[in-house]
Amino acid sequence: MFFLRFLAKRIVAIIITLAAVIAISYIMMYASPGGFMSTTQIATALAPLAAQDPVAYQKVMEQFQQRYGLNLPLWHQVLLYIWHSFTFNFGNSMENPSITIMSQLKSALPISVILAFASVVVSVVVGIPMGIIAALKRNTWIDYTVTTLSMFGQAIPSFVLAVIFVLIFGVVWQNVLPVTGWGTFSEAILPVISLAAGNIGVVARYMRGSLIETMRQDFIRTAKSKGVKYWPLVFKHGVKNSLTALITVIGPQFAFTVVGTVWVENIFAIPGLGKVINTAFTNFDFPLAITAVFILGATIMVTNLVVDLIYAWVDPRVKLQ
Amino acid sequence: MAIAVSQAGPVAAPKRHSQFYLGWKRFSKNYFAVAGLVWVAIFFIVGIIGPWIAPYSYKDADFLAMHTGPSWKHLFGTDTVGYDVFSQILFSIRYALEIALGATCVSFVIGVILGLWAGLAGGIADVIIMRGVDFMFALPSFFFALILVVLLGKGLGPMMLAIGVPGWAGYARLIRSLVLSMRNGEMVEAARALGASQSHIAFKYMFPNVVGSMVVSLAFGIPYDLTAQAGLSIVGMGLNPPMPSFGNMLAAAGENILGFPWLLYFPAGIFAITLLSFLFVADGLQEAFSPKGGM
């Protein structure tokens, strides 16, 4: 019962947030200079007609406004747009009016999602052992190397790493790994690594701190005095207890990675949502762009909800609120 | 009856150092942070004098020397249009700093105002502002920046606003928590009991205690804004060409890398080192001045 109430509350919060994002985006599209939403553009295009045949001009204008609902008051347009977005009725894109936005995004969304999830998984798989080693070998050169490498990963954005990879594998070592495209496993390696680098750093640093903190706790001392051997002590008592806290960083990391996919897809020419966002924004195809952002945002928030649920399930001390 | 009095003279009190001095001591022991600070300082100096020492204007395309490699005439080579990469980098540093500092200021000012308001007024204002903070944290602020660029355009000022306005939430939350911890803190209560005036409390007790966390959060904000700005260029929503920026150069280099790899070496190298330096400095500041953690 309590669980259901929590779930309902969070889902309502997600819906409100998404609705607000759409409303803000729509009003901005509406207000942006030279945007498609402003009728000025079509008015200039039809200026000769207006001079020749004012009646026909009036008709075309009305039809245009009817078509896009521009004759309605703004609040009505916003509500309509929100409703259509939530019912997955995104309409057609403006650059290619014959293709629906839905069909353009259908192929792009899985690519971005796979890319983001893969890099989060890689970062967890690589980052946790790094963090454990650094924590156990605290204040040795191993620790310093891991900590410094994590700083590098965190500081250098994925797109810089991506272009450096393109340089290394496209110019220096050609034909080792493909630097463009999407579809095969080898084509996914470089994008996933460039996205994961920052997360590996975060996970390793967090794991290190968390394990050091856990190993100071009383129950570790008790276990030690009971004669638990070193490795069981580290893994069964230490790591297991510090892993739960690590779940909390995965939510923000996923959001961070999704932004990264938008960049990395453009550099590796991967036909995901990031590529769609790029072409849509540069072509002033705002409905397509806003929808892509909407879908990425929804993915992030749903993932965060799932992460919170997992956290509460793993660690019963955590209260859902 | 004579009481034995110590003849040793006044006991030398341990020398008192200011908070700043102690923090600086800790900071200067962190070699990475000091190295980062040196690079950041160079970056700032180049940003200020860059346009004067640039051998060419960023707008002067040398059509006779398109995509030539590094040479004495063009130190870092020229790009596909014939722009001198060295001059482009000098101007980029200027613009990158202007936008990053401007954007951080915008975020900070909005965040301080809303955070103070939420913390001091409480009640309904607090609830509404913190809901706003939740809203901003639900989605990456990069997406908000992307949408704002559509509205505002791609100039210097619009860029600052587009990156700065969505960044207020972190500062607001920090300031609010500082206000709440200060307002009811024992130290402030004690000062009030001793009859200190409101402004004395604010400047002598509150400010020194919050300035550390604020500086640290600002230091983390600048590299974030630099990244966001370049990231906008990667998706084609960055500073309007021909105005040079690291993001534009990186995006262009990515496209032309097979033929002209030198277009990448210097922009990517300098940009990466700069971000790293800012992060080292921020990390060092956090350890030195705000050990409990800022943002």
Which pLDDT score is estimated for B277?
Answer: 92
SS3 (DSSP) at B84? strand
Q: Does A140 touch chain B (CB under 8 A)?
A: no
Name the DSSP letter for residue B78. B
- Domains of chain A are 2-86 (no CATH), 105-314 (1.10.3720.10)
In angstroms, the separation between the Cα of residue B258 and the nearest Cα of chain A is: 6
Closest approach of A300 to chain B, Cα-based (Å)? 7
Q: How far apart are CA A82 and CA B6, in angstroms?
A: 84
Rounded to a whole number of angstroms, the distance from the CA of A28 to the nearest CA of chain B is 6
* Cβ contacts of A267 on chain B, cutoff 8 Å: 234, 251, 254
In the chain, the amino acid numbered A117 is F
A92 near A99, Cβ under 8 Å? yes
- pLDDT score of B66 more than 60: yes
Determine, for residues A281 and B146 on separate chains, whether the beta-carbon distance falls below 8 Å.
yes
Query: What local confidence, expressed as pLDDT, does residue A268 receive?
Result: 87
Cβ contact B270:B263 at 8 Å: no
The pLDDT value given to residue B243: 81
Determine the 3-state secondary structure of A92 from DSSP. Answer: strand
A255 in contact with B, Cβ within 8 Å: yes
Question: What is the average per-residue pLDDT within B124-143?
Answer: 89
Residue A180 pLDDT: 77
* Domains in chain B: boundaries: 20-289
pLDDT reading at B295 higher than 50: no
CA distance A115 to chain B (A): 17
pLDDT digits 0-9 by tens, B24-63: 888 888 888 899 999 999 999 988 887 787 777 777 666 6
Among candidates B227, B231, B257 on the partner chain, residue whose Cβ is nearest the Cβ of A171: B257
pLDDT of residue A41: 58
- Determine the distance in angstroms separating the CA of B235 from the nearest CA of chain A, rounded to an integer: 5
What's the mean pLDDT when you consider all of chain B? 82
pLDDT tens, position by position, A190-207: 899 999 998 999 999 899
Residue B4 pLDDT: 59
Segment of B47-56, B71-80, B278-287 carrying the highest mean pLDDT = B278-287
CB-nearest partner of A159 from B146, B250, B258? B250
**Residue bearing the bigger pLDDT, A32 or B160:** B160
**What is the rounded distance in angstroms from the CA atom of residue A91 to the CA atom of residue B189?**
61
The pLDDT value recorded for residue B168 is 92
Chain-chain contact of A170 with B151 (C-beta, under 8 angstroms): no
Backbone angles phi, psi at A92, to 5 degrees: -100, 155
CB A131 within 8 A of CB A203: yes
- Angstrom distance (rounded) from CA A82 to CA B243: 37
* Average pLDDT value over all residues in chain A: 83
A91 interfaces chain B, CB cutoff of 8 Å: no
Write the DSSP symbol of residue A217. Answer: S
Q: What is the pLDDT of residue A125?
A: 92
pLDDT score recorded for residue B67: 67
Q: Which of B11 and B109 is assigned the larger pLDDT?
A: B109
Strand partners, B232: none
**Dihedral, CA atoms, B35, B41, B45, B48, nearest 10 degrees?**
140
Rounded CA gap, B104 and A76, in Å?
36
Facing B257 at nearest CB: one of A167, A256, A304: A167
pLDDT at B8 over 70: no
pLDDT tens digits, A131-144: 999 998 888 899 98
**What's the ipTM?**
0.82
Mean pLDDT of A156-162: 89
The span from the CA of A208 to the CA of A151, in Å, is 13
Rounded CA separation B158/A282 (Å) = 17
- Looking at residues A87-111, what average pLDDT do you find? 78
pLDDT band at A37 (very low <50, low <70, confident <90, very high): low
Q: Lowest-pLDDT range, A51-55, A114-118, B18-22, B68-72?
A: B68-72
Confidence of residue B209 (pLDDT cuts 50, 70, 90): confident
- pLDDT of B186 reads 81
- The reported pLDDT for the residue numbered B258 is 67
More confident residue, A67 or B180: B180
Segment A3-25 shows an average pLDDT of 87
Within 8 A of A152 by CB-CB distance, chain B residues are 276
Q: How far is CA A13 from CA A81, A301, B135, in A?
A: 19, 10, 9
Contact yes or no for A263 and B253 at CB 8 A: no
Nearest by CB: A155 against B235, B264, B276? B276
A209 touches chain B (CB under 8 A): no
Contact A293 B146 (CB under 8 A): yes
Instruction: Decide if A241 contacts A214 (C-beta within 8 A).
Output: yes
Q: For residue A194, which residues of chain B lie inside 8 Å, CB to CB?
A: none
Q: Which of A151, A167, A263 is opposite residue B261, by nearest beta carbon?
A: A167
pLDDT score of A297: 86
Find the angle CA(A272)-CA(A275)-CA(A68) to the nearest 5 degrees.
Answer: 100
The sign of the CA dihedral A251, A252, A253, A255 is positive
**Range with lowest mean pLDDT among A48-52, A151-155, A230-234:** A48-52
Q: Give the mean pLDDT of A11-32.
A: 84
Beta bridge partners of A100: A92
For B20-289, CATH number? Answer: 1.10.3720.10
Statement: residue B174 has pLDDT above 80: yes
Asked if the Cβ–Cβ distance from A151 to B227 is below 8 Å, we say: no
What pLDDT digit, counting tens, does each position of B214-244 carry? 888 898 899 999 999 999 988 888 888 778 8
Question: What's the mean pLDDT in B162-187?
Answer: 87
* Residue contact B150–A166, C-beta within 8 A: no
Q: Mutating which of A29, A165, A167, A179 best tests the B interface, going by the most B Cβ atoms within 10 A?
A: A167
Top-confidence residue, B234 or A175: B234
Instruction: Confirm if B60 and B84 have CB atoms less than 8 A apart.
Output: yes
Q: Which of B39, B40, B92, B147 to mutate to test the interface with A (most CBs of A within 10 A)?
A: B147
Distance CA B63, CA B84 (A): 11
Does the distance separating the beta carbons of A32 and B135 come in below 8 Å?
no
A31 in reach of chain B (CB within 8 A):
yes
Q: If contacts are CB pairs under 8 Å, which of residues 167-186 in chain A contact chain B?
A: 167, 170-171
Please report the number of interchain residue pairs, chain A to chain B, with beta-carbon separation below 8 angstroms: 126
**Residue carrying structure tokens 């809203």:** B135
**Cβ contact A156–B272 (<8 Å):** yes
